[in-house]
Structure 1
Amino acid sequence: MGHVTLKLATSLDARIATASGESRWITGEAAREAVHRLRADHDAVVIGIETALADDPELTVRLAGHNGPQPARVILDSRQRLNPESRLARTARDIPTYVVATGEPDATLVALGVRVLTVRAIGEDRPELQAVVDALAVEGLAWLFVEGGGQVAGSFLRCGLVDALEWFRAPLVIGGEGRPAVGALGLKSLASSPIFHRTSVEVLGEDLWERYKKAG
């Protein structure tokens, strides 16, 4: 059984970007350093393909003096749209990089060293997240650090798979046209909301770092 930590870095009104997609940097340097420390404490960093395509991230631990292993990188990518020229694909032989798909492995990605895991699909050909967590655990990746966008965050919460929240809040307000940190959950009542207990609050420069554990 895996452990899922969801990281959110948002404005005060829980937005992760403006309507145009501008998001660098909402939080400050101290918060970003804390995120790198959290990455180092997990087996893998998980994002969705839309984040991979938009940001071309490296998803590495970049801390002064860090000599430990890098976490694996996992991209939820049902149709295997990861760009072979992306940083993730080009460094797949140096740092374990997984694409979680719903079809047969793409030969181009495999040739680059990307490890393609095929899981069952639900809905609009999306990977079934419990199957994703189980498949990654088989690979030795039990502690997952989810950094995807609002749809990925909403999907993990909707499935009840989030064990811990690491929420970094910056002292700015973006407004309703901004992109939400959490996508639709499909709640029918307040009582069905995911519930978390706050375990600590820390000031990081101008930002707040709130830590939560799943209730129960």
Structure 2
Amino acid sequence: MITLKLATSLDGRIATGSGESRWITGEAAREQVHRLRAEHDAVLVGIETALADDPELTVRLAGYNGRQPARVVLDSRQRLPPECKLIATAREIPTYVVATAAPEPRLTAAGVRVLTVRALGEDRPELRTVVETLNAEGLSRIFVEGGGQVAASFLRCGLVDALEWFRAPLVIGGEGRPGVGALAIAALADAPHFRRVEVRELGPDLWERYEKA
């Protein structure tokens, strides 16, 4: 079960052209994202998001004492820096790096589990193999959080089962960074199709939920 989470402006942007992104959506939407994390086995991001945001990818809710999901970073060249939060907490919370080369000792020494998978062009991990490898680790419910290229890659492969889309009432414009990267779609019939199952207001934002059509 692969769930893609997007938190964007009305025009589908996740950051301004300069990279500012905190916070596009409001507190209520961010709180709901933490609830959704708690429902999944793992939270997955790409290396660019990990480098830009230095996220924890944990469930942070008042009074929450449940299990923390594993953290997964698609990091072909194992570029995660030793000072980042994910590495610093890898011995407390299961943390995986998906790479296309042999594990780096500095990562494994810090408690990170490096999963080596085959590459697909441009040294990117082949996503179907990634999903199979994570499933073998007992991580069958994956919450994909970013960024735009990772979102596009999962959509291109037809791996997204559900969308959790948080939409803020602002417009950033074409120079902003898209929530979904290029899909190379020439015909509408080839676009990934989803069925809307629910829409809720969360403070000033909308939470739209979709399932694969």
> Could you tell me the TM-score, scaled by structure 1's length?
0.98
Quick check: 1:192 aligned with 2:190?
A: yes
Distance 1:204 1:46 in 2: 24
The match for 1:172 among 165, 170, 173 is: 170
Partner residue, 2:26 = 28
What whole-Å deviation, never above 9, does each CA across 1:120-159 have from its counterpart, x for those lacking one? 1001000000000000000000000000110000000000
Partner residue, 1:6 = 4
What whole-Å deviation, never above 9, does each CA across 1:25-57 have from its counterpart, x for those lacking one? 000000000000000000000000000001100
Paired residues in the alignment total: 213
Distance 2:82 2:155 in 1: 30
Partner residue, 1:183 = 181
Partner residue, 1:113 = 111
| Aligned Cα root-mean-square deviation (Å) | 0.4
Helix, strand or coil for the counterpart of 1:161? coil
Distance 2:98 2:144 in 1: 14
Partner residue, 2:83 = 85
What whole-Å deviation, never above 9, does each CA across 1:101-137 have from its counterpart, x for those lacking one? 0000000000000000000100100000000000000
Quick check: 1:16 aligned with 2:14?
A: yes
Partner residue, 2:39 = 41
Deviation at 1:85, TM superposition (A): 1.0
Partner residue, 1:159 = 157
Percent sequence identity over aligned pairs: 77
Distance 1:213 1:127 in 2: 25
Matched letter for residue 6 of structure 1: L
Deviation at 1:188, TM superposition (A): 2.2
Partner residue, 1:211 = 209
Structure 1 runs (4+) greater than 3 angstroms displaced: none
Matched letter for residue 5 of structure 1: T
Partner residue, 2:144 = 146
Deviation at 1:65, TM superposition (A): 1.2
Distance 1:28 1:187 in 2: 32
Matched letter for residue 112 of structure 2: V
Matched letter for residue 62 of structure 2: A
